[in-house]
A and B are shown apart, each in its own frame.
Chain A
Amino acid sequence: MSKTILIVGGGLSGTIVANGICRQMGTELRTGALSITMLGTSETHMYQPGLLYVPFGRIREAELFRDQRKVLDKRVNFFVDPAKHIDVEKNQVTTEGGRTFRYDYLVLATGSRIMPQNIPGMKEGAHWFYDLDGARKLRAALNTFQGGKIVVNVNAPHKCPVAPLEVAFMLHDFLKAKGVWDKTELTYTYPIGRLHALEPVAHWAKPEFEKLGIKYETFFNTESVDPDKKTLTSMEGSVLPYDLLITIPPHQGAQVIDDSGLGKGGWVPTNTKTLYREGSTNVFVVGDTTNIPISKAGSTAHFEADVAIDNLVSLCQEGTFAREYDGKVFCFVETGLGSGTYVWFNYTTPPNPGPPSQMIHWFKLAYNRLYWLSARGLL
Protein backbone atom coordinates (compact mmCIF):
# COMPACT_ATOMS: atom_id res chain seq x y z
CA MET A 1 0.00 0.00 0.00
CA SER A 2 1.34 3.42 -0.97
CA LYS A 3 2.77 5.58 1.79
CA THR A 4 2.88 9.37 1.93
CA ILE A 5 5.50 11.48 3.67
CA LEU A 6 4.43 15.09 4.17
CA ILE A 7 7.02 17.72 5.05
CA VAL A 8 5.78 21.04 6.43
CA GLY A 9 8.48 23.65 5.91
CA GLY A 10 10.96 24.26 3.10
CA GLY A 11 13.99 25.47 5.03
CA LEU A 12 17.21 23.58 5.50
CA SER A 13 16.02 20.62 7.58
CA GLY A 14 12.86 19.99 5.55
CA THR A 15 14.81 20.21 2.31
CA ILE A 16 17.54 17.82 3.50
CA VAL A 17 14.91 15.33 4.65
CA ALA A 18 13.06 15.50 1.31
CA ASN A 19 16.19 15.09 -0.78
CA GLY A 20 17.67 12.41 1.48
CA ILE A 21 14.58 10.25 1.26
CA CYS A 22 14.56 10.57 -2.53
CA ARG A 23 18.18 9.38 -2.66
CA GLN A 24 17.41 6.29 -0.57
CA MET A 25 13.94 5.35 -1.81
CA GLY A 26 14.20 5.69 -5.57
CA THR A 27 12.53 2.34 -6.22
CA GLU A 28 9.52 3.10 -4.03
CA LEU A 29 9.11 6.53 -5.63
CA ARG A 30 9.33 5.05 -9.12
CA THR A 31 6.76 2.31 -8.45
CA GLY A 32 4.36 4.62 -6.64
CA ALA A 33 4.80 2.87 -3.29
CA LEU A 34 5.89 6.20 -1.80
CA SER A 35 5.14 9.84 -2.43
CA ILE A 36 6.78 12.88 -0.83
CA THR A 37 5.10 16.26 -0.57
CA MET A 38 6.51 19.50 0.81
CA LEU A 39 4.49 22.53 1.84
CA GLY A 40 6.67 25.63 1.76
CA THR A 41 6.18 29.33 2.27
CA SER A 42 8.41 30.64 -0.53
CA GLU A 43 9.61 29.87 -4.04
CA THR A 44 13.15 30.71 -2.93
CA HIS A 45 15.50 29.03 -0.50
CA MET A 46 17.73 31.35 1.51
CA TYR A 47 21.15 30.55 2.97
CA GLN A 48 20.47 32.23 6.30
CA PRO A 49 24.01 32.20 7.77
CA GLY A 50 25.10 34.33 4.81
CA LEU A 51 23.12 37.27 6.19
CA LEU A 52 25.95 37.87 8.67
CA TYR A 53 28.18 39.03 5.81
CA VAL A 54 25.66 41.37 4.17
CA PRO A 55 26.18 44.38 6.51
CA PHE A 56 29.91 44.24 5.81
CA GLY A 57 29.55 43.92 2.03
CA ARG A 58 31.28 40.53 2.17
CA ILE A 59 28.68 38.51 0.27
CA ARG A 60 26.52 39.30 -2.72
CA GLU A 61 22.79 38.95 -2.14
CA ALA A 62 22.41 36.68 -5.15
CA GLU A 63 24.65 34.15 -3.41
CA LEU A 64 22.07 33.78 -0.63
CA PHE A 65 19.23 32.54 -2.81
CA ARG A 66 18.33 29.59 -5.01
CA ASP A 67 15.06 28.53 -6.59
CA GLN A 68 13.63 26.01 -4.10
CA ARG A 69 12.39 23.80 -6.94
CA LYS A 70 15.97 23.50 -8.19
CA VAL A 71 17.32 22.71 -4.72
CA LEU A 72 14.68 19.99 -4.28
CA ASP A 73 14.78 16.61 -5.97
CA LYS A 74 12.32 16.65 -8.87
CA ARG A 75 10.42 13.74 -7.32
CA VAL A 76 9.24 15.92 -4.42
CA ASN A 77 5.76 17.40 -4.89
CA PHE A 78 6.42 20.97 -3.84
CA PHE A 79 3.66 23.47 -3.10
CA VAL A 80 4.08 27.07 -2.03
CA ASP A 81 1.02 26.83 0.11
CA PRO A 82 1.69 27.32 3.82
CA ALA A 83 0.09 25.00 6.34
CA LYS A 84 -2.84 26.56 8.15
CA HIS A 85 -3.84 23.73 10.49
CA ILE A 86 -1.96 20.57 11.39
CA ASP A 87 -4.17 17.80 12.76
CA VAL A 88 -2.00 15.05 14.21
CA GLU A 89 -5.05 13.04 15.30
CA LYS A 90 -6.54 12.85 11.81
CA ASN A 91 -3.11 12.69 10.10
CA GLN A 92 -3.87 15.62 7.85
CA VAL A 93 -2.76 19.16 7.16
CA THR A 94 -4.91 21.90 5.66
CA THR A 95 -3.33 24.85 3.90
CA GLU A 96 -3.83 28.57 3.43
CA GLY A 97 -4.90 27.73 -0.12
CA GLY A 98 -7.69 25.43 1.06
CA ARG A 99 -6.05 22.11 0.20
CA THR A 100 -6.01 19.11 2.53
CA PHE A 101 -3.04 16.74 2.58
CA ARG A 102 -3.17 13.38 4.33
CA TYR A 103 -0.01 11.62 5.45
CA ASP A 104 1.39 8.41 6.87
CA TYR A 105 4.45 10.21 8.20
CA LEU A 106 4.69 13.91 8.94
CA VAL A 107 7.88 15.96 9.26
CA LEU A 108 7.49 19.29 11.05
CA ALA A 109 10.21 21.66 9.87
CA THR A 110 8.49 25.01 10.26
CA GLY A 111 11.54 26.81 11.69
CA SER A 112 11.73 30.00 13.70
CA ARG A 113 11.32 33.73 13.07
CA ILE A 114 12.50 36.95 14.64
CA MET A 115 10.01 38.83 16.80
CA PRO A 116 11.39 42.37 17.39
CA GLN A 117 7.77 43.47 17.82
CA ASN A 118 7.66 41.54 21.12
CA ILE A 119 9.85 44.17 22.81
CA PRO A 120 8.44 47.73 22.95
CA GLY A 121 10.40 50.11 20.71
CA MET A 122 12.73 47.48 19.30
CA LYS A 123 11.24 47.38 15.82
CA GLU A 124 11.44 51.17 15.54
CA GLY A 125 14.77 51.73 17.28
CA ALA A 126 16.99 48.79 16.40
CA HIS A 127 18.86 47.28 13.47
CA TRP A 128 19.38 43.56 12.95
CA PHE A 129 20.79 41.21 10.36
CA TYR A 130 18.60 38.11 10.83
CA ASP A 131 16.55 38.86 7.70
CA LEU A 132 17.53 40.40 4.38
CA ASP A 133 15.72 43.68 4.86
CA GLY A 134 17.33 44.17 8.27
CA ALA A 135 20.78 43.24 6.96
CA ARG A 136 20.44 45.76 4.13
CA LYS A 137 19.42 48.53 6.54
CA LEU A 138 22.32 47.69 8.83
CA ARG A 139 24.71 47.83 5.87
CA ALA A 140 23.44 51.32 5.06
CA ALA A 141 23.78 52.38 8.71
CA LEU A 142 27.35 51.08 8.92
CA ASN A 143 28.30 52.81 5.68
CA THR A 144 27.36 56.19 7.16
CA PHE A 145 28.58 55.45 10.71
CA GLN A 146 31.34 57.87 11.69
CA GLY A 147 31.74 56.91 15.34
CA GLY A 148 29.66 56.77 18.52
CA LYS A 149 28.11 54.17 20.75
CA ILE A 150 27.19 50.81 19.21
CA VAL A 151 25.34 48.23 21.28
CA VAL A 152 25.18 44.59 20.13
CA ASN A 153 22.18 43.38 22.09
CA VAL A 154 21.40 39.66 22.38
CA ASN A 155 17.94 38.41 23.35
CA ALA A 156 16.61 34.97 24.28
CA PRO A 157 15.73 32.74 22.61
CA HIS A 158 17.60 33.14 19.34
CA LYS A 159 19.00 30.95 16.60
CA CYS A 160 22.56 30.78 15.33
CA PRO A 161 24.01 31.26 18.83
CA VAL A 162 27.52 32.30 17.80
CA ALA A 163 26.38 34.98 15.33
CA PRO A 164 26.21 37.71 18.03
CA LEU A 165 29.84 37.14 18.98
CA GLU A 166 30.81 36.96 15.32
CA VAL A 167 29.16 40.26 14.48
CA ALA A 168 30.96 41.95 17.40
CA PHE A 169 34.36 40.73 16.19
CA MET A 170 33.55 41.61 12.58
CA LEU A 171 32.38 45.09 13.60
CA HIS A 172 35.73 45.68 15.27
CA ASP A 173 37.66 44.71 12.13
CA PHE A 174 35.27 46.61 9.83
CA LEU A 175 35.34 49.84 11.83
CA LYS A 176 39.08 49.66 12.34
CA ALA A 177 39.62 49.31 8.59
CA LYS A 178 37.24 52.21 8.06
CA GLY A 179 39.30 54.32 10.47
CA VAL A 180 36.52 55.03 12.99
CA TRP A 181 37.20 52.39 15.65
CA ASP A 182 38.99 54.99 17.82
CA LYS A 183 35.80 57.04 17.83
CA THR A 184 33.58 54.01 18.57
CA GLU A 185 32.44 52.49 21.86
CA LEU A 186 31.14 48.96 21.26
CA THR A 187 29.15 47.29 24.04
CA TYR A 188 27.89 43.71 23.87
CA THR A 189 24.99 42.61 26.08
CA TYR A 190 24.04 39.01 26.88
CA PRO A 191 21.05 37.52 28.72
CA ILE A 192 22.94 35.31 31.20
CA GLY A 193 25.94 35.88 33.43
CA ARG A 194 28.67 35.34 30.84
CA LEU A 195 29.40 36.31 27.22
CA HIS A 196 28.06 33.13 25.64
CA ALA A 197 25.84 30.22 26.59
CA LEU A 198 28.72 27.80 25.93
CA GLU A 199 31.00 28.23 28.92
CA PRO A 200 34.30 27.49 27.09
CA VAL A 201 33.32 29.94 24.34
CA ALA A 202 32.49 32.56 26.96
CA HIS A 203 35.85 32.03 28.68
CA TRP A 204 37.64 32.36 25.35
CA ALA A 205 35.68 35.46 24.26
CA LYS A 206 36.17 37.50 27.45
CA PRO A 207 39.93 38.16 27.09
CA GLU A 208 39.46 38.61 23.34
CA PHE A 209 36.90 41.35 23.98
CA GLU A 210 39.17 42.97 26.56
CA LYS A 211 42.11 42.86 24.14
CA LEU A 212 40.09 44.58 21.41
CA GLY A 213 38.42 47.08 23.75
CA ILE A 214 34.89 45.69 23.36
CA LYS A 215 32.83 46.42 26.46
CA TYR A 216 30.20 44.04 27.74
CA GLU A 217 27.27 43.77 30.12
CA THR A 218 25.90 40.39 31.18
CA PHE A 219 22.53 39.56 32.76
CA PHE A 220 20.93 41.95 30.28
CA ASN A 221 17.45 40.99 29.02
CA THR A 222 15.90 43.80 27.04
CA GLU A 223 12.64 45.12 28.43
CA SER A 224 12.21 48.10 26.10
CA VAL A 225 13.91 50.38 23.59
CA ASP A 226 13.31 54.13 23.47
CA PRO A 227 14.00 55.20 19.85
CA ASP A 228 13.65 58.90 20.71
CA LYS A 229 16.04 58.97 23.66
CA LYS A 230 18.16 56.26 22.00
CA THR A 231 18.35 54.09 25.09
CA LEU A 232 17.57 50.48 25.87
CA THR A 233 16.47 49.25 29.27
CA SER A 234 16.92 45.78 30.67
CA MET A 235 14.61 43.74 32.92
CA GLU A 236 17.51 43.81 35.36
CA GLY A 237 17.24 47.62 35.59
CA SER A 238 20.18 48.75 33.47
CA VAL A 239 19.89 51.58 30.91
CA LEU A 240 22.31 51.83 27.98
CA PRO A 241 22.56 54.74 25.53
CA TYR A 242 23.23 54.00 21.87
CA ASP A 243 23.83 55.70 18.56
CA LEU A 244 23.49 52.43 16.63
CA LEU A 245 21.62 49.50 18.18
CA ILE A 246 22.26 46.10 16.59
CA THR A 247 19.93 43.58 18.16
CA ILE A 248 19.51 39.86 17.92
CA PRO A 249 15.73 39.88 18.43
CA PRO A 250 13.92 37.22 20.44
CA HIS A 251 12.63 34.36 18.29
CA GLN A 252 9.48 32.29 18.15
CA GLY A 253 8.47 29.28 16.12
CA ALA A 254 5.86 29.28 13.37
CA GLN A 255 2.38 30.58 14.11
CA VAL A 256 0.78 27.45 12.61
CA ILE A 257 2.33 25.35 15.41
CA ASP A 258 0.73 27.56 18.05
CA ASP A 259 -2.56 27.75 16.14
CA SER A 260 -2.69 23.96 15.82
CA GLY A 261 -2.12 23.47 19.54
CA LEU A 262 1.17 21.70 18.94
CA GLY A 263 3.41 23.86 21.12
CA LYS A 264 3.53 27.19 22.91
CA GLY A 265 5.58 29.79 21.08
CA GLY A 266 5.74 27.58 18.01
CA TRP A 267 8.13 25.08 19.62
CA VAL A 268 6.96 21.47 19.44
CA PRO A 269 7.62 19.20 22.45
CA THR A 270 10.01 16.65 20.96
CA ASN A 271 11.78 13.55 22.22
CA THR A 272 15.46 14.49 22.44
CA LYS A 273 16.65 11.21 20.90
CA THR A 274 13.95 9.83 18.62
CA LEU A 275 12.88 13.30 17.37
CA TYR A 276 9.29 12.09 17.53
CA ARG A 277 6.75 14.70 18.54
CA GLU A 278 5.84 13.83 22.14
CA GLY A 279 2.71 11.68 21.90
CA SER A 280 3.16 10.69 18.23
CA THR A 281 4.98 7.84 16.50
CA ASN A 282 4.46 9.10 12.97
CA VAL A 283 5.44 12.76 13.44
CA PHE A 284 9.10 13.77 13.37
CA VAL A 285 10.25 17.25 14.36
CA VAL A 286 13.50 18.71 13.02
CA GLY A 287 15.45 21.97 13.09
CA ASP A 288 14.44 25.06 15.01
CA THR A 289 10.88 23.72 15.43
CA THR A 290 11.78 21.36 18.31
CA ASN A 291 11.70 22.40 21.94
CA ILE A 292 14.88 20.39 22.58
CA PRO A 293 17.16 22.48 24.82
CA ILE A 294 20.05 22.67 22.36
CA SER A 295 21.29 25.31 19.92
CA LYS A 296 18.93 26.40 17.18
CA ALA A 297 21.46 26.26 14.37
CA GLY A 298 21.81 25.10 10.78
CA SER A 299 24.07 22.25 11.82
CA THR A 300 21.54 21.07 14.40
CA ALA A 301 18.91 21.07 11.66
CA HIS A 302 21.26 19.15 9.36
CA PHE A 303 22.21 16.44 11.87
CA GLU A 304 18.62 16.01 13.02
CA ALA A 305 17.49 15.76 9.39
CA ASP A 306 20.04 12.97 8.76
CA VAL A 307 18.59 11.00 11.68
CA ALA A 308 15.01 11.59 10.52
CA ILE A 309 15.91 10.38 7.01
CA ASP A 310 17.38 7.12 8.31
CA ASN A 311 14.39 6.51 10.53
CA LEU A 312 11.78 7.33 7.89
CA VAL A 313 13.50 5.10 5.35
CA SER A 314 13.89 2.32 7.89
CA LEU A 315 10.27 2.56 9.01
CA CYS A 316 9.02 2.50 5.40
CA GLN A 317 11.33 -0.28 4.19
CA GLU A 318 11.97 -2.40 7.26
CA GLY A 319 9.16 -1.49 9.63
CA THR A 320 11.57 -0.57 12.40
CA PHE A 321 13.28 2.45 13.94
CA ALA A 322 16.94 2.91 12.93
CA ARG A 323 18.88 5.23 15.20
CA GLU A 324 18.75 8.05 17.73
CA TYR A 325 19.98 11.65 17.55
CA ASP A 326 23.01 12.20 19.78
CA GLY A 327 22.60 15.98 20.14
CA LYS A 328 25.41 16.85 17.74
CA VAL A 329 25.93 20.55 16.95
CA PHE A 330 28.79 22.10 14.95
CA CYS A 331 29.30 25.82 14.54
CA PHE A 332 31.92 27.86 12.77
CA VAL A 333 32.85 31.00 14.72
CA GLU A 334 34.15 33.96 12.74
CA THR A 335 36.58 35.80 15.01
CA GLY A 336 37.04 38.77 12.69
CA LEU A 337 37.04 39.42 8.96
CA GLY A 338 40.07 37.16 8.43
CA SER A 339 40.12 34.46 11.11
CA GLY A 340 37.79 31.86 12.56
CA THR A 341 37.44 28.83 14.78
CA TYR A 342 34.78 26.18 15.33
CA VAL A 343 33.03 24.39 18.13
CA TRP A 344 31.21 21.07 18.25
CA PHE A 345 29.47 19.15 21.01
CA ASN A 346 26.69 16.67 21.64
CA TYR A 347 24.59 15.52 24.58
CA THR A 348 27.59 13.94 26.28
CA THR A 349 30.66 15.73 24.89
CA PRO A 350 31.26 19.30 26.05
CA PRO A 351 32.48 21.93 23.56
CA ASN A 352 36.16 22.75 23.35
CA PRO A 353 36.90 25.54 20.82
CA GLY A 354 40.39 25.59 19.32
CA PRO A 355 42.58 28.60 18.56
CA PRO A 356 41.32 30.80 15.68
CA SER A 357 43.10 30.53 12.33
CA GLN A 358 42.91 31.95 8.83
CA MET A 359 42.42 28.42 7.49
CA ILE A 360 39.17 27.86 9.41
CA HIS A 361 37.91 31.26 8.22
CA TRP A 362 38.60 30.17 4.63
CA PHE A 363 36.79 26.91 5.25
CA LYS A 364 33.78 28.86 6.52
CA LEU A 365 33.85 30.94 3.34
CA ALA A 366 33.99 27.72 1.33
CA TYR A 367 31.06 26.34 3.31
CA ASN A 368 29.05 29.42 2.35
CA ARG A 369 28.98 27.81 -1.10
CA LEU A 370 29.08 24.14 -0.05
CA TYR A 371 25.82 24.76 1.81
CA TRP A 372 23.90 24.10 -1.37
CA LEU A 373 25.33 20.58 -1.45
CA SER A 374 24.12 20.09 2.14
CA ALA A 375 20.63 21.22 1.21
CA ARG A 376 20.63 18.81 -1.73
CA GLY A 377 21.58 15.98 0.62
CA LEU A 378 25.01 15.46 -0.94
CA LEU A 379 27.22 16.68 1.93
Chain B
Amino acid sequence: MAERQKIDARGAFCPGPLMELIAALKLGAVGDEVDVWSSDKGSAADIPAWCAKVGHAVVETSEHDGYWSVVVRKAK
Protein backbone atom coordinates (compact mmCIF):
# COMPACT_ATOMS: atom_id res chain seq x y z
CA MET B 1 0.00 0.00 0.00
CA ALA B 2 1.37 3.40 -1.00
CA GLU B 3 2.62 5.61 1.81
CA ARG B 4 3.00 9.37 2.20
CA GLN B 5 6.04 10.55 4.10
CA LYS B 6 6.50 14.10 5.30
CA ILE B 7 9.91 15.78 5.34
CA ASP B 8 10.02 19.01 7.28
CA ALA B 9 13.11 20.63 5.74
CA ARG B 10 12.17 24.16 6.76
CA GLY B 11 15.33 26.04 7.69
CA ALA B 12 17.55 23.15 6.56
CA PHE B 13 20.65 24.59 4.91
CA CYS B 14 22.39 21.27 4.24
CA PRO B 15 21.62 18.88 2.62
CA GLY B 16 18.43 20.80 1.82
CA PRO B 17 14.93 19.91 0.65
CA LEU B 18 15.74 18.48 -2.80
CA MET B 19 18.56 16.27 -1.52
CA GLU B 20 16.26 15.01 1.26
CA LEU B 21 13.58 14.27 -1.33
CA ILE B 22 16.01 12.33 -3.55
CA ALA B 23 17.15 10.25 -0.57
CA ALA B 24 13.57 9.54 0.52
CA LEU B 25 12.46 8.51 -2.97
CA LYS B 26 15.32 6.01 -3.17
CA LEU B 27 13.93 4.24 -0.09
CA GLY B 28 10.31 4.33 -1.23
CA ALA B 29 8.27 2.08 -3.49
CA VAL B 30 6.69 3.14 -6.78
CA GLY B 31 3.49 5.00 -5.90
CA ASP B 32 4.75 6.28 -2.53
CA GLU B 33 4.47 10.00 -1.97
CA VAL B 34 6.81 12.42 -0.23
CA ASP B 35 5.56 15.77 1.04
CA VAL B 36 8.54 18.12 1.35
CA TRP B 37 8.19 21.30 3.38
CA SER B 38 10.70 24.00 2.62
CA SER B 39 11.16 27.58 3.75
CA ASP B 40 13.35 28.14 0.68
CA LYS B 41 11.30 29.49 -2.21
CA GLY B 42 13.85 28.11 -4.67
CA SER B 43 12.88 24.56 -3.70
CA ALA B 44 9.32 25.15 -4.89
CA ALA B 45 10.83 25.60 -8.36
CA ASP B 46 13.83 23.22 -8.13
CA ILE B 47 11.84 20.19 -7.03
CA PRO B 48 9.32 20.25 -9.93
CA ALA B 49 12.20 20.94 -12.36
CA TRP B 50 14.10 17.89 -11.12
CA CYS B 51 10.96 15.72 -11.13
CA ALA B 52 10.33 16.69 -14.75
CA LYS B 53 13.89 15.59 -15.68
CA VAL B 54 13.66 12.25 -13.89
CA GLY B 55 10.00 11.43 -14.46
CA HIS B 56 8.52 11.56 -10.96
CA ALA B 57 5.08 13.17 -10.61
CA VAL B 58 4.48 16.42 -8.74
CA VAL B 59 1.09 15.87 -7.14
CA GLU B 60 0.66 19.24 -5.50
CA THR B 61 2.54 22.46 -4.77
CA SER B 62 1.13 24.88 -2.23
CA GLU B 63 2.27 27.97 -0.37
CA HIS B 64 1.59 28.20 3.33
CA ASP B 65 2.47 30.67 6.05
CA GLY B 66 6.19 31.13 5.39
CA TYR B 67 6.85 27.80 3.71
CA TRP B 68 6.12 25.76 0.60
CA SER B 69 4.84 22.19 0.40
CA VAL B 70 5.62 20.03 -2.63
CA VAL B 71 4.12 16.54 -2.83
CA VAL B 72 5.95 14.15 -5.15
CA ARG B 73 4.87 10.63 -6.17
CA LYS B 74 7.58 8.10 -7.05
CA ALA B 75 6.87 7.03 -10.61
CA LYS B 76 9.63 4.52 -11.33
B19 within 8 Å of A (CB atoms): yes
Point out residues on A near B: beta carbons under 8 Å: 118, 156-157, 161, 191-193, 197-199, 219, 221, 235-237, 250, 264-265, 272, 293-295, 327, 329, 345, 347-348, 350-351
What is the minimal beta-carbon distance from A241 to any residue of chain B, in angstroms? 21
With A193-B49, A293-B8 in contact, is A198–B14 under 8 Å at CB?
yes
**A192→B47 CA distance, assembly (Å):** 9
> When the two chains form their complex, are residues A293 and B27 in contact, meaning their CB atoms are under 8 A apart?
no
> When the two chains form their complex, are residues B54 and A197 in contact, meaning their CB atoms are under 8 A apart?
no
Point out residues on B near A: beta carbons under 8 Å: 7-9, 11-20, 22-23, 26-27, 46, 49-50, 53-54
Please pick, from A161, A219, A327, A351, the residue contacting B15 in the complex, using a CB distance under 8 A: A161
What is the minimal beta-carbon distance from A345 to any residue of chain B, in angstroms? 5
What is the minimal beta-carbon distance from B70 to any residue of chain A, in angstroms? 14
> When the two chains form their complex, are residues B27 and A161 in contact, meaning their CB atoms are under 8 A apart?
no
**A293→B22 CA distance, assembly (Å):** 12
> When the two chains form their complex, are residues A192 and B19 in contact, meaning their CB atoms are under 8 A apart?
yes
**A192→B11 CA distance, assembly (Å):** 17
**A293→B8 CA distance, assembly (Å):** 8
> When the two chains form their complex, are residues B14 and A192 in contact, meaning their CB atoms are under 8 A apart?
no
Please pick, from B9, B46, B49, B50, the residue contacting A293 in the complex, using a CB distance under 8 A: B9
CB neighbours of A350 from chain B (8 A): 13
> When the two chains form their complex, are residues A236 and B15 in contact, meaning their CB atoms are under 8 A apart?
no
**A114→B15 CA distance, assembly (Å):** 17
**A197→B12 CA distance, assembly (Å):** 10
Q: Which residue of B lies closest to A296 (CB)?
A: B15
> When the two chains form their complex, are residues B46 and A265 in contact, meaning their CB atoms are under 8 A apart?
no
CB neighbours of B49 from chain A (8 A): 193
CB neighbours of A156 from chain B (8 A): 15, 19, 22-23, 26
What is the minimal beta-carbon distance from A347 to any residue of chain B, in angstroms? 5
CB neighbours of A250 from chain B (8 A): 23, 26
Please pick, from B12, B23, B50, the residue contacting A193 in the complex, using a CB distance under 8 A: B50
> When the two chains form their complex, are residues A345 and B54 in contact, meaning their CB atoms are under 8 A apart?
no
**A221→B22 CA distance, assembly (Å):** 9
CB neighbours of B54 from chain A (8 A): 221, 235-236
Please pick, from A219, A235, A272, A295, the residue contacting B14 in the complex, using a CB distance under 8 A: A295
**A12→B16 CA distance, assembly (Å):** 24
**A350→B27 CA distance, assembly (Å):** 29
**A272→B11 CA distance, assembly (Å):** 11
If A192-B16, A219-B53 are given as contacts, then 20 extra A-B residue pairs at C-beta distance below 8 Å, sorted by A number, are A156-B19, A156-B22, A156-B23, A157-B19, A191-B18, A192-B50, A193-B49, A193-B50, A197-B13, A197-B14, A198-B13, A219-B50, A221-B54, A235-B53, A264-B27, A265-B27, A293-B7, A294-B12, A345-B14, A348-B11
> When the two chains form their complex, are residues B22 and A294 in contact, meaning their CB atoms are under 8 A apart?
no
**A236→B54 CA distance, assembly (Å):** 5
With A156-B19, A219-B53 in contact, is A192–B46 under 8 Å at CB?
yes
With A237-B53, A293-B7, A348-B11 in contact, is A197–B22 under 8 Å at CB?
no
What is the minimal beta-carbon distance from B22 to any residue of chain A, in angstroms? 5
What is the minimal beta-carbon distance from A112 to any residue of chain B, in angstroms? 11
**A237→B20 CA distance, assembly (Å):** 21
